[in-house]
Amino acid sequence: MGRVSIRHELNEWLSTYGGHIGYAVRPEFRRKGYAKLLLGEGLKICSSLGIDHALLTCKDSNFVSAKVIEFAGGVLENIVPGPDGLLRRYWAKTNIG
């Protein structure tokens, strides 16, 4: 179905480009709500690790991922040049329960 990766600490690269949570959904499972589920569970895990606000990033052209992040409460901080084009950087509270 997909995967979620949690980064407990951010190095310089992750604090600019990667963020605390990475998620991906296989093409055949897209448009079924799994991205929202994965991100929501990732935020819960971050909360349990003591991370109050998680950095989330996506390509500026990835409108679907941006909507998923915004649905989870992500607030856009800025848009920065990234290795593969512009990146949107969001912060989301992890205590969403």
Residue 3 tokens, joined: 């995967």
| Residue 59, domain CATH | 3.40.630.30
**Nearest CA-CA partner of 71 in 45, 40, 31, 29:** 40
DSSP 14-32: IIIIIBSEEEEE-GGGTTS
Asked whether the predicted pLDDT for residue 97 surpasses 60, the reply is: no
The Cα-based distances of 28 to 24, 25, 32, 62, 79 in angstroms read: 12, 8, 9, 18, 30
Give the range of the structural domain holding residue 71, as residue numbers without chain letter. Answer: 2-93
Q: Judge whether 75 and 90 are in contact, CB under 8 Å.
A: yes
pLDDT digits (tens, 9 = 90+) for 8-64: 999 999 999 999 999 999 999 999 999 999 999 999 999 999 999 999 999 999 999
| Domains identified in the chain, total number | 1
Half-sphere exposure of 34 (CA within 13 A, CB side): 14
Q: What global pTM score does this model have?
A: 0.92
